[in-house]
Every structure is written in C-alpha cells, then in structure tokens.
A and B are shown apart, each in its own frame.
Chain A
Amino acid sequence: MALRIIFIVFALLSLPANGQKYFTRSGITEFEASEKAFEPIEAINESTTAIMDLSSGIIVSQVFMAGFQFKNALMQEHFNENYMESNQYPKATFKGKLDNFSLDDLKSNEPIPLSGMLTIKGVEKKIQTTVSITQDQSGLSLTGMFAVNPEDFNIKIPVIVQEKIADMVHINLNYQLVEKK
C-alpha cells in the first residue's frame, strides 16, 4: 500500500518537466447514503488532497477518513470504528486518468470521461465516471459524482440498520485546483 503510493508519487514527479501540475489540499468530498423517511446519512470532507497533471490527464487523490465530518457524533463514531475501521485503513485513494484528454476539453463544458482505481479499506475497484473541469484565472475547478456499493469494499452493514442505509453510496467531488509551483 505505502509502496504503491510512493510509486505513484514518483510516477508523478518523473512526468515531463513541462507538465503543469495543479493541486489542492482542501478538496471537498461528500458522501450520501440516506434512505427516504430515515435520518440523513451524509458527511463532508473538506481536506481532500488531489493532484492533476495537465499534460497527461492523470489525477491522483487521497481522502482521510478522520476528515469526514458528520452532523451527529454517534454516526461519526460508528463510521470510523465499525464501518471504515479507520484506525486500520486511515485513507481512501484514487489514481486515474482522463480519457483522451486535451487542453481543448477545458474550453468546452462537455463532461470528460475519467477512469481509475479507487481504494477503500485496502480493496481496489475500477471506477468509470465523468467529471467536469473548467479553467479560470485562479486555476482549475473539477467536479463530479459517482456511486459505489459498500459491499464491494468489505464494508459490512448490520441487518438491523440495513433499511436505513442506501444500497449505493453517492460520492460528490468538488476540487478547486491551483497551479503547483
């Protein structure tokens, strides 16, 4: 796991020198797993790190479980201790690439296909989604949404609360990237 991340870092560092990199330390990652008529199950993480290499379209990101803030203390405790086991698996990572990315894609408002590997609780799964990326003076704005099934990542939901938690968890991304100097 650690080796893989070091490898990713080196892979990014060894990209051509003219490759502009954009990054954020405070990307917003939200998830929502509410069922209608039950208490909302949602949390927000405002300290996601994401790095994007503009020339290759490679995106890597990492989100700390301890950074997810719930409205309810007990829910936050259960999330960390029972569901995510965040002591053992403190973070989730994503490593992916925008398909056939070119700088012209930033000018159009078309969604850009993104595929890559999402790792949660040490389990890797391929994710295929689309994101919107727009450019302005301050940098790049990356937004997107996809859904995952907790079962795919060995997240066991006790039968007693199953009807309160949605089968699919929706994940929202909103990263404001600035140029890395």
Chain B
Amino acid sequence: MVVGVVLLTIVGFSTYGYLFSAPTKPADANPEFIGQAQEFSYLVTDDLAFWVNKVVELTGEVSEITDDGILINGTIYCQFDDQTILKTITKNQRLTIKGKMVGFDELLMEIKLSQCIIP
C-alpha cells in the first residue's frame, strides 16, 4: 500500500516534470562539437541540416562586436542573452564561446548561434 503510494508519487512527479519542464539551456548542454570556428564553418557547409539545433563550442577571432552579440571569423554570429559580457570582449581577441546553432543566414551569409555564453 505504502509502496504503491510512493511509486504513484514518483511516477506522478516525473511525468509532471517531463510535461512541464523548461527547455535545456545551451549553456547546460554537452556540446556536439568542440574546436576551431573555421573547422566548424566547413562542417556546416558540408551538412547544414545536421548542425541545426546542436550546441557547439567554438574558438575563433572576434571580428566585430554589436549590441547583442559578436561576429567570429567574420562569418559566425553569436548572440548573447547576457549582454553585459560583451563589454569584457575586445575586437581581434581570440575567444571560445558556447551556444546553439540555429541556422545559416543566407541574407547576411553568416552562421547564427543563439543563447551564447563564454564557458
């Protein structure tokens, strides 16, 4: 009887947790790729669909700093949720970032990462 109630509670809570949990933040996810930004660009050219929605950790040179993100190697745009971090970044610095790849932007010819952090 008691075991039944305990089991039911556990199942109940885990179902509830599954149904109503918030999406995993890219910051907490294991990256699918860790390495040079340049190499990642080649991989994306090769198989774009595979990389969409994947969390990656890239190292490259900061070529531009904007209001809400940075451009790495001139071709990878990384958007930050916490924009105060941007003040600590300087142009031309080598940097490693972690974020979720959302797609290839054909209007600006850039790979786009969102919810980026500096790991």
Interface residues of A (CB under 8 A from B): 2, 5-6, 8-9, 23, 25-26, 46-47, 49, 51, 60-62, 64, 66-67, 69-74, 76, 80, 86-87, 90-91, 178
> In the complex, are the beta carbons of B108 and A25 less than 8 A apart?
yes
Residue of A nearest to B112 (CB): A47
Q: Which of B5-13, B20-28, B84-92 contacts A (4 or more CB under 8 A)?
A: B20-28
Contacts of B106 in A (CB 8 A): 2, 5-6, 9, 62
Contacts of A6 in B (CB 8 A): 106
Residue of A nearest to B19 (CB): A74
Residue of A nearest to B103 (CB): A64
Interface residues of B (CB under 8 A from A): 18-24, 48-49, 52-53, 66-69, 77, 79, 100-103, 105-108, 110, 112, 114-115
**B69 in complex: contacting residue of A25, A60, A61, A87, CB < 8 Å:** A25
Contacts of B66 in A (CB 8 A): 25
Q: Tally A-B pairs: CB < 8 A.
A: 79
**B107 in complex: contacting residue of A51, A69, A72, A80, CB < 8 Å:** A51
> In the complex, are the beta carbons of B108 and A23 less than 8 A apart?
yes
Provided the pairs A25-B77, A25-B79, A64-B112 are in contact, do residues A73 and B105 lie with their beta carbons within 8 angstroms? no
* Docked pose: A60 CA to B20 CA in angstroms: 36
* Docked pose: A5 CA to B79 CA in angstroms: 23
Chain B nearest CB, measured from A33 CB (Å)? 18
Residue of B nearest to A51 (CB): B107
**B49 in complex: contacting residue of A26, A72, A87, CB < 8 Å:** A87
Q: List 15 A-B contacts (CB under 8 A).
A: A9-B106, A25-B108, A47-B79, A47-B114, A61-B107, A62-B106, A64-B102, A64-B112, A66-B101, A70-B23, A71-B22, A72-B22, A73-B24, A87-B52, A178-B67
Provided the pairs A71-B22, A91-B103 are in contact, do residues A46 and B114 lie with their beta carbons within 8 angstroms? yes
> In the complex, are the beta carbons of B112 and A73 less than 8 A apart?
no
Provided the pairs A25-B105, A90-B103 are in contact, do residues A66 and B52 lie with their beta carbons within 8 angstroms? yes
> In the complex, are the beta carbons of B21 and A73 less than 8 A apart?
yes
* Docked pose: A71 CA to B21 CA in angstroms: 8
* Docked pose: A19 CA to B89 CA in angstroms: 33
3 closest residue pairs by CB, A with B:
A64-B103, A73-B23, A64-B102
> In the complex, are the beta carbons of B52 and A26 less than 8 A apart?
no
Contacts of B52 in A (CB 8 A): 64, 66, 86-87, 90
Contacts of B101 in A (CB 8 A): 66
> In the complex, are the beta carbons of B23 and A66 less than 8 A apart?
no
> In the complex, are the beta carbons of A62 and B105 less than 8 A apart?
yes
Chain B nearest CB, measured from A93 CB (Å)? 9
* Docked pose: A23 CA to B107 CA in angstroms: 10
* Docked pose: A86 CA to B101 CA in angstroms: 13
